[in-house]
Structure 1
């Protein structure tokens, strides 16, 4: 299946500095693993060279004063420790760095390049691994996200194809709050976010009761998971709910935010998935896109702060898009590259693509009812989706 893959060496400009979790090394090592598996020379892949987004594209989502402030900061000669809380900028999540406006334009432009590729000439798949910046709000940065490339690409499509219906599916451990609020009153964008319960993690939102407003009521859906949720529990819920929502909504395009910070070894989240489980999640998406989503899938990256996990899982995602099977073990040359560039003594270097949660057996020994609690929680939400939320979704009128 022909797949567009967006890549540019300029992506390393989106760099909050040394020690920040969202390091450009994530993208560099993912790209090198894809290359090591010969995916980037696959006969069905099209390497797409992005152009920066235009200001008019940004202003469909973001406020003028925020954009002007970023343009001003863009001219700095060195990183700044100044704090601009009214814009969500400063030490912490979103430190100010030279060229930040240009870097954010590049990421947003990459997502626009991908959706154009999908919509033109009946292409069906595209992947922008630097995208997925789902926290940014119209007037401020948030959670490592300067511009919301997801919302920008959706608004771009709506401007070009006024009646298009888009389903946004977010599997990042953090709730896709920026995208949800931007389209909270829009029935032509259905948002469905699977994430760690907002009572336990940033941004603190994404509760089941957040279902949209006005004409968008019923088109915002959230499935908060308990910390520690493992493959079997997650997959059972995901496989039940996602196809039903797709079938009920019947979008023209599926936009997937494929954050992989749901992994049990992620340093800033508390979920319990393995890379094998994450691969199965994407397989469910892939299998159902032709059935219910006009066979159009645009995937962006997102969170994931264990670099070995990010590279392995996104490589498996791209392989699935191409219908390619990739096998164990990991290429030795890539593992060597990882060890040389990723100086993190707290993590064991991976040797296999597909791992399993090594902590499950220990947890079950300490608390025999631990998995029962996870299943009871997800079963309750599945029941609410099937009996209350999904029946309210309206199919398009043909």
Structure 2
């Protein structure tokens, strides 16, 4: 494993944009296009920074995570006219036409392309071609070996981690910042002492998938290499970042990873319609900054970042993912944003090039929010105190 290269790479999301359930589904690829357009408008994303998704070893790697019968049913349901036998079994494998993860024509090819993008990111970093790589089309962390779940068909994050282990024998730290617990990745490596899974999320007491509690710490030889920090609904920036930073610093010293794989769902924002956390864009500036610093401190800079959830497509996702890329690429615009009293101005009309009748009448004008302008959150101190109690329980096994 080397890290001699200095320029991060962006994995071309063209193939991942085929991962599309239907126009009214919250998991929509317009998020990818809007992010790319915002970064292009800022002169922060250039063609020479992009590399294509991998076309090698995709199915072989998928089979390391997913059962053969599941892979077969995904392929059958991907047909324009699936066989009746496949349709009759669809619900057993997590596919329901009126559910979270409906099957659609070409879904095997689309989901495999997502895996290919995450494998390309892993290969770029582990080979030394780049210190960091970003694949925003990835981060489908809910898929299980035998079923789809929560908009996720193939678990590209788990596949990339498995590939890294097989090819390099590396110790992998997986960081999940999605508001929903990173359950699929956790259970794939729950007994593996060489993969540490860390997830900060809204507590499963109130939110899908209903897991990710502080007592989930791994089993057998993997005990102690799983950390969950479930926070209370309406958690705000300070409490979220305190929990995140303290956990990350402690587990780094305990685990000493060779590489970081991070999932950057951006649905813990106050505007997101599918959760109850009340954070601002500040956490999406700070979390990548802290991961970046620790990557250079502990892993020789090796950092693979993936996308994930985020369902306010216009107001939140482009800014959050844009800030992630600006941090990974150490773009000078970040210093302007950090120094700006107004949160840093966005390019005017940056979203105008995306044709959509769903574009809001008003879009954010700054990179960062002004939470002081929001209605104050009741029970702020009680929520922060409860999060501190849970954090202390979660960290007990790390010493």
Measure how far apart 1:10 and its partner are: 2.5
Q: Retained in 2: the 8 A contact 1:264–1:357?
A: no
Displacement of 1:77 in angstroms is 5.2
What secondary structure, in the 3-state scheme, does the structure 2 residue paired with 1:154 have?
helix
Tell me what 2:340 maps to: none
**For residue 394 of structure 1, what is the aligned residue in structure 2?**
none
Q: Distance in 2 between matches of 1:226 and 1:293?
A: 31
2:386 corresponds in structure 1 to 377
Equivalent position of 2:38 in the other structure: 33
1:336 to 352, 359, 374: 352
Give the whole-Å Cα distance in 1 for the aligned partners of 2:349 and 2:297: 39
Q: Cα offset for 1:258? A: 0.7
1:1-398 matches, cutoff 5 A: 1-41=6-46, 46-52=49-55, 54-76=58-80, 84-91=90-97, 92-121=99-128, 123-162=130-169, 164-308=170-314, 309-326=316-333, 327=337, 328-337=344-353, 340-341=355-356, 343=358, 348-357=362-371, 361-363=375-377, 367=378, 370-386=379-395, 388-391=396-399
The alpha-carbon deviation at position 359 of structure 1 amounts to 7.3
Q: What are the superposed Cα offsets for residues 314-363 of structure 1, whole Å, 9 maximum, x if unpaired?
A: 1111011111132432112314346x526155x84211111133675433
Contact 1:14 / 1:104 at 8 angstroms: preserved in 2?
yes
Task: Decide whether aligned partners of structure 1 residues 385 and 197 sit closer, same or farther in structure 2, where only a CA change above 3 A counts.
Answer: closer
Q: What is the alpha-carbon distance in structure 1 between the residues aligned to residue 306 and residue 241 of structure 2?
A: 20
- State which drifts further: 233-242 or 98-107: 233-242
Coordinate RMSD, CA, aligned: 2.0
Distance in 1 of aligned mates of 2:290 and 2:40? 25
Gaps of 5+ in 1: 392-398
Please tell me whether the aligned partners of residues 17 and 137 of structure 2 are also in contact (alpha carbons under 8 angstroms).
Answer: no
CA apart distance, 1:382: 3.0
Structure 2: state its 5+ residue gaps. 1-5, 338-343
With over 3 angstroms needed to count, the CA separation of the structure-2 counterparts of 1:385 and 1:90, relative to structure 1, is closer
CA distance in 2, matches of 1:375, 1:167: 26
Task: Indicate the larger mover: 67-76 or 207-216.
Answer: 67-76
Would the aligned equivalents of 1:335 and 1:350 in 2 still touch at CA under 8 Å? no
In 1, the alpha carbon distance for the partners of 2:297 and 2:68 equals 40
- 1:246–1:293: 8 Å Cα contact kept in structure 2? no
Q: 2-side partners of 1:351 and 1:82: how far apart? A: 46
What is the CA–CA distance in structure 1 between the aligned matches of 2:242 and 2:274, rounded to whole Å? 25
Query: How far apart are the structure 1 equivalents of 2:219 and 2:129?
Result: 33
Distance 2:207 2:357 in 1: 26
Contact 2:171 2:258 in 1 (8 A): yes
Q: 2:77·2:87 contact (CA, 8 Å) conserved in 1?
A: no
The structural deviation recorded for 1:21 is: 0.3
CA distance in 1, matches of 2:167, 2:37: 35
| Contact map agreement 1:251 1:294 (CA 8 A) in 2 | no
Mapped contact 2:289–2:327 kept (Cα < 8 A): yes
Runs of 4+ off more than 3 Å: 80-83, 356-362
Q: Separation in 1 of the partners of 2:158 and 2:331?
A: 30
